[in-house]
Structure 1
Amino acid sequence: MTHSSRSSRVDGEATRTRILENAGRLFAQTGFAETTSKAIAAEAEVDLASINYHFGSRTGLYQVVLAEAHRRVISLDDLVQIAKRECTEEEKLRAILTLLVNAAQVGHGWHSGVLAREVLAPSSHLQVLFNEELQPKLAVILNILSEITAIPANHPALLRCLISTAAPCLMLLVAGNGLPGPAPVVLAMPEEELISHLYNFTIAGLRAISVDYLAPSSAPSR
């Protein structure tokens, strides 16, 4: 590879990153509908053709921004590494909650704003985020919850457990972006205290659901 081609690749990656970062900030401030390609290009100091070259369109750019925002909260690599640890499934759950609490408390960058907007006012792009970014992450978490509860990963009861586990963390993430009510007060509490509360609350609920599932009256027919 020549020096010229290496320089072009580095310049191209730098331009793509600059567009992504500035677009993320603008999407967090004004939302997808109100953020124009022209505004993004001006902030990133590029021409409109650069957005289309790197992302295909403003829609393509927004979908990449959404995926990157979710990775900055919790990445698939992080989850896989936790799942591989030589520890109990309960300890793995606590590690995941620790990542999510940390992201909510210190993640006041554009990524939390973008996700907060998407949660409060879902767009058609949320399905793309689910298919490409969320689904593989949820599969890892479901397997951990399944090990804790002895409920199969595809059972409706475990899906309810997943929602109950994730919802408080999602609320805390949104709370960091101006949500009124008690959530911001809770978010401001000491990190370890908040992690312990979420873990104790979650594990108690999981164990209760597990007992119900394993009870003879609710055992699945053979």
Structure 2
Amino acid sequence: MNKPKSLRTKEKDTPQRTARVDGTRTRARIIESAGRLIGASGLAETTSKAIAAAAGVDLASINYHFGNRDGLYKAVLVEAHRRLITLDELQGIANGDRPPQDKLRQFLDRLVTRALTPRNWNGNVLARELLSPGSHIEVLLEQEIGPKFRVMSKVLSEISGIPVGDPALIRCAVSIGAPCAMIFVAHRNDNPLSRQIDAMDKDELVDHLLNFALGGLQAIGRNHARTPAPSA
């Protein structure tokens, strides 16, 4: 007796789906293991052999899933940035019904909260890359920072009056992000600055960053409005 077509199809597809699930889990496990080791010791001091051992895989698995060691590190950087803040989170903030100033505070609160979390591997990896950026940082600009900036640029444009796409808005974004990056990096190690930051009230720190950002955006916006457009 022949089996129904739907049942034959299900039996045929199940091994493929199982293989895909197992492959996804293995890939995630390698990224997690690599992130922990690189976050603790740095990329140069972390061997592929150590990563494979920590993940419970062989060296061939790293090449299979990531192409090579550079491909793995790029995947680690992307995952580290996603754990800081995701594109979906930013879109939720930017597309909300709140005034733009409140949206900017939400964004800053999210960054500061995660900058002050216990020293997890994704924070350590990003801090190391910010302190000593290499060619790998391009993947962050293309896959994470660029798309996220395009979302938040709408909020910055609403506050400043500077059109989206204007280079002045990029400079504003850098000025707003730099203090958050400084807090993020400083908090990765135990030092006098990190201890002072830890002693601060988080909401007061966020409010300070917000007021600083708003003052800058409004001042740059006024100056931008007074500056004549370049001749065609």
Q: TM-score, normalised by structure 2?
A: 0.88
State the match for 2:178 in structure 1. Answer: 167
Structure 1: which 4+ aligned runs deviate by more than 4 Å?
Answer: none
SS for the counterpart of 2:42 is: helix
State the match for 2:147 in structure 1. Answer: 136
Q: Which moved more, 1:90-99 or 1:174-183?
A: 174-183
Q: Which moved more, 1:28-37 or 1:65-74?
A: 28-37
Listed as ranges, the gaps of 5+ residues in structure 1 are none
CA RMSD of superposed structures (Å): 1.8
Structure 2 CA distance for partners of 1:204 and 1:194, relative to 1, 3 Å: same
Partners in 2 of 1:44 and 1:220 — Cα distance?
Answer: 56
> Which one-letter code corresponds to 1:74 in the other structure?
I
Match 1:220 to one of 187, 204, 229: 229
Structure 2 CA distance for partners of 1:143 and 1:179, relative to 1, 3 Å: farther
Partners in 2 of 1:127 and 1:16 — Cα distance?
Answer: 22
**How far 1:132 sits from its partner (Å)?**
1.6
Partners in 2 of 1:201 and 1:117 — Cα distance?
Answer: 26
Structure 2 CA distance for partners of 1:97 and 1:48, relative to 1, 3 Å: same
1:24-54 deviation digits (Å, cap 9, x = unpaired): 0111122222211101001111101111111
**How far 1:221 sits from its partner (Å)?**
5.2
Structure number with larger C-alpha Rg: 2
Q: Which moved more, 1:26-35 or 1:179-188?
A: 179-188
Match 2:76 to one of 37, 43, 65: 65
State the match for 1:42 in structure 2. Answer: 53
**How far 1:186 sits from its partner (Å)?**
2.1
Identity %: 49
Partners in 1 of 2:199 and 2:137 — Cα distance?
Answer: 28
Please list, as runs of the form range in 1=range in 2, the aligned pairs for 1:102-141 lying within 5 A after superposition: 102-106=113-117, 108-141=119-152
**How far 1:180 sits from its partner (Å)?**
4.1
State the match for 2:98 in structure 1. Answer: 87
Partners in 1 of 2:62 and 2:47 — Cα distance?
Answer: 11
Partners in 1 of 2:190 and 2:133 — Cα distance?
Answer: 16
**How far 1:198 sits from its partner (Å)?**
0.8
State the match for 2:6 in structure 1. Answer: none
> Which one-letter code corresponds to 1:155 in the other structure?
D
Structure 2 CA distance for partners of 1:79 and 1:140, relative to 1, 3 Å: same
**How far 1:107 sits from its partner (Å)?**
5.2
**How far 1:70 sits from its partner (Å)?**
0.4
SS for the counterpart of 2:116 is: helix
Matched, 1:145 2:156: yes
Listed as ranges, the gaps of 5+ residues in structure 2 are 1-9
1:94-122 deviation digits (Å, cap 9, x = unpaired): 11101101110115210000000000001
> Which one-letter code corresponds to 1:101 in the other structure?
V
> Which one-letter code corresponds to 1:173 in the other structure?
F
Partners in 1 of 2:63 and 2:57 — Cα distance?
Answer: 11
Partners in 2 of 1:179 and 1:158 — Cα distance?
Answer: 34
**How far 1:160 sits from its partner (Å)?**
1.7
**How far 1:184 sits from its partner (Å)?**
4.5
